Amino acid sequence: MQPRTLPTSLVDAGVRPLAGVRVLDCATFIAAPTCATLLGEFGAELIKVEHPGSGDPLRRFGTPSPRADSSYCWLSEARNRTSITLDLSRPEGAALFRRLAAVSDVICENFRPGTLERWGLGWEQLRAVNPDLVLLRVTGYGQTGPYRDRPGFARIAHAVGGLSQLAGMPGEIPVTPGSTSLGDYLAGLYAAVGVLVALIHRRRGGGGQVVDIGLYEAVLRVLDELAPAYIHAGVVRDREGAGTRNACPHGHFPTRDERWVAIACTTDKMFARLATAMDRPQLADATAFGPQTVRLAARETVDRLVAAWTGSLDLEEVMRRCLAAEVPVGPLNSIVDIVNDPQVAARGNLVGITDADVGTCVIPDVIPRLSATPGRIDRIGPALGSGNARVFRDLLGLSADEVDELRVRGVL
C-alpha cells in the first residue's frame, strides 16, 4: 500500500494545509470530535460515522434547532462533516469500517476501552489494513491504569483532574466553572496536537501510531503550579473564590450599575497603575500596599478597597479609568454582551453559515488564525446519514442495490 502523505505544497492559494487528509470520526459528544473539527477547518475531509437511527447523542444535547435531528450544539460542533450511518457492532458494519480505515489517515474514537477490540476493530486489526493509520483514542481515564474501564464525562474530568476542587467560594460547594464541557474541549485540543505530530512522524516514514488521552489528564495539565507546589513545597490549593492566592487584587468586583468587572494586578507596577486610576496613588507606597507580599497578607482589606471604588462607579467609567492607566481590566460579559461586542465583530469571531434546512446559523469561527493558510467553515453539522450514498457508493464502490439492502437490514 502506498502511504498517504500530507500535502507538501500550497502553491494553490485555495488549498488548505490538511487537504488530502481523510478523518473517520466515529466518536460521540465533544472531546474526540473536537480534534476532528480542528483538522477539518484546515482542510481535512471529515466522515462522521454514526449509529443508524439515533446518530451521535450530541444531536439531542442542548437547544433544539429548526432541523428535527439536530441541536444548535450539533450544528456548530459537527461543522464540515459528511454524515454516514454504520452499525459497527455488526460484522458487516465492522467490515465496511475496516474498508474505510484502509483509505483513511486518522480515526477518532472515544468508546470505552476494549469496545473496538470486541467488534474486531482494535489497533491490531486496523493497523493490519492500514499501517500508516493514526488512531486517536479519547476516554475518561486513558487506555491504561486501574480506572481505564470507568465511564467519563467532562464534569467527572473536572472533578478527578483537580479543577472543581479549586472552583467556588471558600468553604462552599465546589462548582464546575461555567458548567461547560471545558475538559472535553481541552482534551480535543491536546488530541489535535497529538494527531498532527503523529502525521508528521508518518510523513517522515515512521508509520502510524495510537494517540491516547484521558479527559482528566487534559484538565490536570492546565492547573498551573498545582502539582509541583504541593510535591515540593507542601502547598495545597483550594477554593479561592474570584481571586487567587498568588496575586492581589486579582478578581471580580461589582460596579454601581450592577455589573461586574475583572481586574488583574499580578505585579507591583500594575497595582500602582490601579492606585492611580483610583485617585489614591498612596496605596501603592512601600509603607502601604505597594509590595505584593503585603497585599497578599492583607488580601481582604485590599479587595474591599477596590470593591468600594468600583462599586461607586458605573462599569463604563471603571473601564475608562483603568484603561487610561493601563490596568488589565475587562467586563464580565454575558453572551448578550459578546454578540454585541465590537472586538468580536472586528475579529469576526462569530460567523453566519447558510443551510437549506436551518437558514443562517451563527456559530463561533475558526481559531487560530493563520495568515497564509486560514481555516474555513464550509457547512454546519449535517443531517443524519446524508452522506451515505456518496461515501459507500463513490468511495467504497458499493452498488445502489447493496446500499439499499444494508439500509433495510439496519447495517446503515
Catalytic residues, which ones? Answer: 184
Nearest to 304 by CA among 317, 315, 289, 292: 289
CA atoms within 13 A of residue 388's CA, in its CB half-sphere = 22
- CA–CA separation, 368 vs 409, rounded Å? 43
Through-space distance between the first and last CA atoms of the chain, rounded to whole angstroms: 28
Q: Mind spelling out the 3-state secondary structure of 172-235?
A: CCCCCHHHCCHHHHHHHHHHHHHHHHHHHHHHHHHCCEEEEEEHHHHHHCCCCCHHHHHHHHCC
Residue 395 per-residue DSSP state = I
Q: Which helix (H) or strand (E) holds 251?
A: strand 250-254
Largest CA distance in the chain: 86
- CA–CA separation, 75 vs 358, rounded Å? 9
- CA–CA separation, 188 vs 140, rounded Å? 12
Q: Which residue has the cell 480505515?
A: 101
Residue 57 per-residue DSSP state = G
